[in-house]
A and B are shown apart, each in its own frame.
Chain A
Amino acid sequence: MKEALINYTLHLADNALILGHRNSEWCGHGPILEQDIAITNISLDLIGQARNFYQYAALLKADGSTEDIFAYLRDAPEFKNCLLVEQPRGDWAVTILRQFLFSNYQYLLYQQLQNNEDEQIAAIAAKALKEVVYHLRWSSEWVIRLGDGTEDSNQRINKAIDELSPFISELFQPASYEKEVGIDVSLLAKDWMEKLTAVFEEATLSIPANPNQHTGGKEGKHSEHLSALLSEMQQLQRAYPDSEW
């Protein structure tokens, strides 16, 4: 049970860290200044969430692990993030769509987790939920702008839907450790689809229904994109072990 709770906490942390890192790739490259600041603010929130979860996992593990060891010294198969968050940032439409798909999920998940029997998980979720509300609103508005925007923006977001829709069902398929800690993510699917439908209708977009679905990230089976991301993110700590700011 304790092992499952550690793995579940790491799963929550890894989702937040990897998406935070992906979004941070936009720093200095956003389409306009205000949106560059927005996406990097969202990165900061996500990396903050990851830190809280990693610190808690370290406390549970009680073997000298630290948040930095979890982030910088694990290899790809040890990461438990879903495949959606590790996909390349793509163009602005891919980044926006991914943020919307994920924030919609995270919003519903944290609403559940804020009442979790584990007090620390509940506290982190309750704290982060206030920020996820901003992420969800911002990304929803952008999906609508792009879908119901110009011909170019509409084409791009449709292409993004094709690229990212194979990674949706994994969000709602419980991993072994989720079952053990009593979290049933499959129950979130209905509300998630309801929100997506409302936003997509306003954006004049069709609901994604891609029969080719990929899973495995939550159990450590990742796409090659995660290794590339980690080799960049962990480079300094690997080249200069134990270096500190």
Chain B
Amino acid sequence: MVKTRIIPVEKIWSILETVTDPEVPVLTITDLGIVRGVKINDDQVEVIITPTYTGCPAMDMIAMNIRLALIENGFQNIKITSVLSPVWTTDWMSEAGRQKLKEYGIAPPNPRQQVCNNDLFAQDEAVQCPLCNSYHTHRISEFGSTACKSLYQCDDCREPFDYFKCH
């Protein structure tokens, strides 16, 4: 008689820690804070994820990469569930994730609700240049290369850089 072996949840989490965001490949999905939970139902592994932005085209790829990583590790019965609530914010990003972003050249998100308001022509957020650490920077565009980033330039070292905007 074949006895179903019990799958340890920690094993699944350690596999998820190897799956990266296709658009910001230095970040893993656990750094980003988009994995909401892991459930084991007999031999089925269910991974619950949440999108960063509504229209983020990386989500489909992330779901596929999770599936592939689990298959590579011998799991076959895999379910990926996407939930919208509670809403993801940049506060879900881990400290390690913020550090990795900075090293990669993307300014990590400021603590939420600093100046995330609806005032028109609001002053730019004070964002630290990830290259020379100056706060003497300005925003070029609120909308950047992906939905989660805006475009800044450093007034000291003159480098343009991406800012993972607070959300």
Contacts and interface: CB of A to CB of B under 8 A. Distances in A.
B41 interface: no
Contacts of B84: 52, 120, 123-124, 126-127
Nearest to B85: A123
Contact of A134 (B87, B120, B142, B145): B142
Interface string B128-167: 0000000000001111110100010000000000000001
Nearest to B116: A133
Contacts of B57: 44
A34 B56 contact: no
Contacts of B167: 130
Contacts, number: 80
A150 B74 CA distance: 65
Interface residues of A, number: 34
A46 B55 contact: yes
Nearest to A126: B87
Interface residues of B, number: 27
A138 B85 CA distance: 26
Contacts of B116: 133
Interface string B20-55: 000000000000000000000000000000010111
A16 B141 CA distance: 23
Given A48-B53, A126-B85, A34 B141 contact: yes
Nearest to A52: B54
Interface in A38-72: 38, 41-42, 44-49, 51-52
20 contacts: A34-B140, A34-B143, A34-B151, A37-B143, A38-B142, A38-B143, A44-B147, A45-B55, A48-B56, A120-B84, A123-B85, A123-B87, A126-B85, A126-B87, A127-B88, A130-B87, A130-B89, A134-B142, A136-B118, A141-B120
Interface of A: 34-35, 37-38, 41-42, 44-49, 51-52, 119-120, 122-124, 126-128, 130-131, 133-134, 136-138, 140-141, 144, 199, 202
